[in-house]
Amino acid sequence: MQPWIDRHPLEFVVLLVLTLWVSVSVVISYISGWAELAQRFRYGARFVGKRWRGQSAQMRGIGAYHNCLTVGANPDGLYLATLFLFRVGHPPLFVPWIDVSSMRRGKWFLFRYVELRLGRERSIPFRITEGLADRLKQAAGKAWPIESIG
């Protein structure tokens, strides 16, 4: 192996970076709960509805997605997709509103957020800004989940 690395140092570095990129992406998918949601809510069709690119969200654990999400909504459900570069381990999702179990508002330091719980069996927290939540609520119409106290 070492002779090959010595002859191809650039290829080795590229291979190493790609391997790390894929590994970290897959691990984050499992830690955040995205992989669990994908087992039930993987979405392969073209989403029809309002979409907002470059959005951020926090899921469980270290599952922070900063400015790399496309978040969409229509009266049927919530659409989530990552930028192409982060797609490994993160297939697009479509969660019907019936599977969004609750919603609550909160504050973390100076930031106000809304937390949706995605999925029924294993409820995955999905924290977004109040502004994005308001846009999703408008796109969802009457299907928007009822707010909980808190």
Inter-CA distances, 37 with 1, 31, 33, Å: 39, 12, 6
d(CA 14, CA 17): 5
- Which band of pLDDT confidence, cut at 50, 70 and 90, is reported for residue 116? very high
User: Mean pLDDT throughout 37-53?
Assistant: 96
User: Mean pLDDT throughout 6-19?
Assistant: 79
Domain chopping of the chain, boundaries = 34-143
d(CA 147, CA 150): 9
Q: Which residue has the higher pLDDT, 21 or 52?
A: 52
Q: Which residues contact 89 (CB under 8 A, 6 or more apart)?
A: 22, 25, 26, 27, 28, 29, 30, 34, 35
Look at residue 78 and tell me whether its pLDDT is greater than 50.
Answer: yes
Q: Does the model's pTM come out above 0.95?
A: no
Domain 34-143 has CATH 2.40.10.480: no
